[in-house]
């Protein structure tokens, strides 16, 4: 009791210290991570969009500006994050690509950190416990893949952050139902859809559940009708405003964008290394993303999540039975629980059933990870109130043990936490699954080569799927002058990150003209090798 009273007395300072440690730790290592092979493409599209927006407003004052030439350069895929990045770089007069990429990492982490603050607030409001909220944040940041990708994954982690903002604004709307809450919820609805086509799934789940919840009585539905119409109208308004690609012809371009994004993703055919076999992404078995979720998520989180979901599933039966009574409505907590539960399982079902080309592990649905953490905490909250002291202490010990393991592993393998597999699967997974599919390790490889070579011009080639273009742009000007990206035949150094994909395999390991000089090893497994031409 004394310990509890001491914590309550200093709770505010403890929470501030906790988040300060997270922020300053993240900020101090923000430059350690590499870049992905998609970064340049997305940034270029955002630059074109920024120029178009600028010219659009200038054209209101100058009739001689022809927008068609600027509009033709726009691509249909979402540019919410990258457009913000371009704006920040323009504001700070950042033009060098190394500085742009570093700014991107900082921006990505700032958004992730902001989502942690919002998630903390959401959990505290839901479960009325600061300690459970801190545990939730700890489970999230000590998931090594999520933490690492929070610095450079501007598609999936950014979308996950937006989803946290979205369901927090949903709760605020349920509690208030005033114009401010409608405006905020509509704004994050638009951001979610603008950032990724998968944003349509949680939005659809909300509307279906919301209508069902208030459809039981005519009076209830009429009371909510105006709010619903405001939400729909403002959401479409913000979608239009925040997506410049739609400005010219909103309805047709929205249809074309959604169609082309779906089609474009399905037309990306890569080769996955899955259970020790190379398989085309359009031929992947249905369980691909489920397996990746199971092997790359810390064991304690899987354990808590499955118990939490099972516990809530029993409650669903009761809620459905009660909902058949036309006077019953879900309260705010039950509504949030149902929304998150349905979003998780419907999202998994849809991407398993209708997403033909599967690649990149389960990163495309990382936005579901906060739901995983939520149901872990759902179980912890229930367990705290109902379990015996011995069982409580046992669960505490298991959680502390697993978090200690992931914390130690993350420090030991920094900055390659994106290669994490849980301790149950790692011995098999490292040898039989894809590792560095984005070429993030190229940064550390080039840094090693720059130290190894004394030449003024170093000819480097990347063997496999991922090229070196983005990593080259991330170098400072002095090292850019030294590095020359060349074909395999004339290279001084070859980087092999063992991702075969669609490029021809030059069998560098069997080439007598090269010798192995370095292996990047994570959990006793070689991830990337560097070969040097024998003089």
The model's pLDDT over 452-510, given as tens digits with 9 standing for 90+, comes to 999 999 999 988 778 888 899 999 999 999 999 998 889 999 998 877 655 556 677 77
What is the rounded distance in angstroms from the CA atom of residue 496 to the CA atom of residue 436?
A: 11
Residue 220 clears pLDDT 70, i.e. is over it: no
Give residues with Cβ within 8 angstroms of 426, minimum separation 6. 523
**The CA-based dihedral angle spanning residues 371, 372, 377, 379, taken in that order and rounded to the nearest 10 degrees:** 120
Average pLDDT over residues 218-243: 86
From 103, 77, 106, 80, select the one nearest 92 (Cα to Cα): 103
pLDDT of residue 67: 78
Of all residues in the chain, what percent are helix, strand and coil, respectively (each to 5)? 70, 5, 25
pLDDT band at 420 (very low <50, low <70, confident <90, very high): very high
CA-based end-to-end distance of the chain: 72
pLDDT of residue 53: 86
Q: What is the pLDDT of residues 54-99, one digit of tens each?
A: 888 888 777 777 777 777 777 777 788 999 999 999 999 998 999 9
Average pLDDT over residues 338-358: 88
pLDDT of residue 375: 97
pLDDT of residue 348: 87
Task: Give the CA count within 13 Å in the CB-facing half-sphere of 190.
Answer: 22
**Would you say 334 and 319 are in contact if contact means Cβ atoms under 8 Å apart?**
yes
**Beta strand residue intervals within 209-291, DSSP E:** 271-274, 277-280
**Would you say 111 and 195 are in contact if contact means Cβ atoms under 8 Å apart?**
no
Write out the H or E segment, with its range, that includes residue 514.
strand 514-522
Residue 242 clears pLDDT 70, i.e. is over it: yes
Give residues with Cβ within 8 angstroms of 222, minimum separation 6. none
pLDDT of residue 432: 93
Query: In Å, what is the CA distance from 183 to each residue of 122, 186, 236?
Result: 19, 5, 12
**DSSP state letter for 433:** B
Average pLDDT over residues 433-440: 89
pLDDT band at 157 (very low <50, low <70, confident <90, very high): very high
Average pLDDT, the chain: 89
Q: How many CB atoms lie within 10 A of CB 234?
A: 19
| Of the listed ranges 36-40, 302-306, 450-454, the one predicted with least confidence | 36-40
What is the rounded distance in angstroms from the CA atom of residue 392 to the CA atom of residue 275?
A: 37
Structure-model confidence comparison of residues 80 and 3, the more confident one: 80
pLDDT band at 8 (very low <50, low <70, confident <90, very high): low
pLDDT of residue 92: 94
Write out the H or E segment, with its range, that includes residue 166.
helix 156-176
| Of the listed ranges 294-298, 333-337, 428-432, 465-469, the one predicted with least confidence | 465-469
Q: What is the pLDDT of residues 281-303, one digit of tens each?
A: 889 999 999 999 999 999 999 99
pLDDT band at 264 (very low <50, low <70, confident <90, very high): low
Average pLDDT over residues 278-283: 88
pLDDT band at 413 (very low <50, low <70, confident <90, very high): very high
**DSSP state letter for 505:** P
pLDDT of residue 94: 93
Residue 261 clears pLDDT 80, i.e. is over it: no
pLDDT of residue 156: 94
pLDDT of residue 7: 62
pLDDT of residue 245: 83
């Amino acid at each position: 009791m004394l310990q509890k009273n001491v914590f309550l007395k200093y709770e505010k300072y403890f929470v501030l210290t906790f988040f300060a440690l997270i922020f300053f730790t993240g900020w101090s290592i923000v430059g350690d991570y590499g870049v992905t092979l998609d970064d340049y493409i997305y940034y270029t599209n955002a630059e074109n969009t920024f120029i178009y927006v600028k010219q659009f407003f200038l054209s209101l004052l100058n009739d001689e500006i022809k927008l068609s030439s600027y509009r033709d350069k726009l691509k249909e895929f979402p540019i919410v994050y990258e457009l913000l990045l371009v704006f920040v770089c323009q504001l700070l007069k950042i033009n060098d690509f190394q500085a742009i990429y570093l700014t991107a990492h900082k921006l990505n982490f700032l958004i992730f950190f902001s989502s942690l603050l919002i998630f903390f607030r959401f959990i505290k409001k839901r479960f009325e416990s600061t300690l459970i909220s801190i545990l939730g944040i700890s489970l999230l940041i000590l998931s090594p893949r999520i933490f690492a990708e929070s610095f450079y994954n501007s598609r999936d982690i950014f979308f996950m952050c937006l989803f946290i903002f979205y369901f927090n604004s949903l709760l605020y709307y349920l509690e208030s139902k005033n114009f401010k809450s409608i405006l905020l919820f509509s704004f994050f609805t638009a951001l979610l859809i603008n950032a990724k086509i998968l944003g349509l799934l949680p939005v659809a789940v909300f509307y279906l559940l919301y209508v069902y919840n208030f459809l039981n009585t005519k009076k209830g539905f009429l009371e909510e009708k105006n709010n619903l119409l405001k939400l729909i109208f403002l959401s479409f308004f913000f979608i239009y405003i925040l997506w410049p690609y739609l400005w010219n012809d909103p309805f047709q371009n929205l249809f074309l964008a959604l169609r082309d994004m779906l089609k474009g993703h399905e037309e990306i055919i890569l080769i996955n290394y899955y259970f020790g076999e190379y398989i085309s992404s359009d031929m992947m078995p249905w369980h691909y993303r489920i397996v990746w979720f199971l092997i790359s998520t810390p064991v304690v989180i899987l354990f808590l999540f499955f118990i939490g979901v099972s516990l809530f599933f029993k409650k669903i039966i009761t809620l459905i039975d009660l909902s058949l009574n036309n006077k019953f409505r879900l309260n705010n907590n039950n509504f949030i629980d149902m929304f998150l539960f349905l979003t998780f399982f419907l999202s998994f079902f849809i991407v398993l059933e209708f997403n033909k080309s599967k690649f990149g592990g389960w990163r495309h649905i990382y936005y579901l990870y906060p739901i995983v953490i939520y149901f872990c905490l759902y179980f912890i909250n229930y367990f705290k109130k109902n379990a015996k002291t011995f069982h409580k202490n046992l669960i505490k010990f298991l959680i502390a043990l697993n978090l200690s393991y992931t914390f130690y592993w993350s420090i030991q393998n920094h900055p390659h936490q994106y290669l994490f597999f849980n301790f149950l699967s790692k011995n098999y997974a490292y040898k039989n699954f894809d590792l560095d599919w984005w070429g993030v390790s190229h940064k550390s490889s080039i840094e090693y080569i720059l130290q190894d070579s004394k030449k003024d011009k170093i000819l480097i080639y990347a063997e496999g799927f991922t090229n070196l273009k983005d990593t080259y742009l991330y170098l400072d000007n002095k090292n850019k002058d030294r590095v020359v990206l060349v074909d395999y035949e004339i290279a001084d150094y070859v980087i092999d990150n063992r991702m075969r994909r669609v490029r021809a395999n030059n069998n560098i390991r069997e080439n007598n003209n090269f010798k192995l000089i370095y292996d990047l090893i994570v959990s006793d497994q070689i991830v990337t090798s560097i070969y040097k031409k024998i003089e």
